[in-house]
Amino acid sequence: MTRFTYLLSILSVLSAVASYDLVHDYSGQTFFDGWDFYGNWDNLTLGDVWWLDEQDAFSQGLAQINSAGRAVLRVDNATDVAYNQKRNSIRVTTQASYGIGSLWIIDLVHIPYGCSVWPAFWTKGPLWPNDGEIDIIEAVNVMPINQMALHTTPGCFHPGAGDVETGNPIQADLDCSQAPGCVVQETKPNSYNTGLAAAGGGVWATQFDVSGVFIWFWSRPDVPASIASATNTSSITDISQWGLPSASYPATSCNITEFFTAQQLVLDITLCGDWAGIPPVYDPTCASQGSTGLCYNDNVVGPGSPKYDEAYFEINYIRAYTTGGPVSPISTPTSMPGSGYNVPGTTTTTSVPTTSASYTPPSPADRNVGQVSWMLPLVGVGLGAVLVL
């Protein structure tokens, strides 16, 4: 098959779905309905944060609806953190799990950034890693661009550079089960950092389909009319004019029904940890910003302002749509009474954090040593997706 024929086949797949019906709108005063707060330290990526439970998140103002009616999730920038302690932050996970045949759209005006800051908007199955992971928004420190990735069990591959996407894959034909995942870097401007905020934000759309996983990004001036004109009750009736996605993972190289089950949406912000904090990633842009050159010492410890004044999500909405197609054939755990809800094309799970009986903070030396050996040869290209649950 020629590249041109292959491209036409992908475009025909993307336009094959005539309409997506809205199944959940997370926006306004009810944005936080249907999310679970993590309520534990970051035992997943070894970040120097404590992800608050729901009560503390709202009482401390780290989760709120602002005067513009937008949802805000932020890192604590008001507390003077003592050495060997963690800074408070937020991680939330949807109670609903959205099956294959879904479309997710996030519209936001601000993404967290700054030295030590590691934000993400991603999805996961209930039994990680067997159920797959999709990283839609993920970057660290003062990177200028966003990057996207899949994480799966062995056998799922990215097809290679330039065939089906506008983004830049960091390595062609990499099995998505490898620790970095199948990473594609955004090439459009203003996908992260000050550029996104200056442009008035942007929109990401992710198609989770039997034909593949496809992720689009548009800066605010370029948002398609079919999205800009959509309301919190309307369908998305035409995606054929969206053009090539930023990242494309077609089923021809990754069988979606084999490697993914229904997915929960996750928003989180951690600090330092196994990507933002390791010296090969942190040092080039941030080590000179503090007195010690160490991520934890120069950022997490001490006053939170102005260091974390930009470390927040500000979200207009997140919308989940479905074609009414099937969910993954792998069943999800039964939800507890009152823990969630079911919507067409979705299943429901209870989000349960992985916890330890007690927490012993890593030593200061451990915090600032690169702990992930696979990262070291790849940091020059900005790679940093890590194993997360």
Question: Which of helix, strand or coil describes residue 114?
Answer: coil
Q: What b/e string do you get for 286-309 counting C-beta neighbours within 10 Å, with b at 16 or more?
A: beebbeeebbbbbbbbeebeebbe
Q: Supply the DSSP string of 175-228, one letter for each residue.
A: BTTSTT-EEEE--SS-SSHHHHHHTT-EEEEEEEETTEEEEEEEEGGG--HHHH
Q: Are 320 and 102 in contact (CB under 8 A)?
A: yes
Tell me which H or E stretch contains 65.
Answer: strand 63-65
Q: 46 burial class (0-12, 13-18, 19+ CB within 10 angstroms)?
A: buried
CA distance 81 to 145: 29
Out of 133, 165, 186, 310, the active site residue is 133
Q: Which residues contact 352 (CB under 8 A, 6 or more apart)?
A: none
Known catalytic residue at 165: no
Q: Are 184 and 291 in contact (CB under 8 A)?
A: no
R_g over Cα of the chain: 20
CA distance 114 to 121: 17
Per DSSP bridges, beta strands 87-89 and 49-51 are parallel
| Region of residue 363 (phi > 0: left; psi between -120 and 50: alpha; otherwise: beta) | beta
Give CA torsion, residues 270, 274, 279, 283, to 10 deg: -30
Known catalytic residue at 54: no
Out of 54, 138, 165, 314, the active site residue is 138
CA distance 316 to 200: 11
Question: Which sequence positions are flagged as catalytic?
Answer: 133, 138
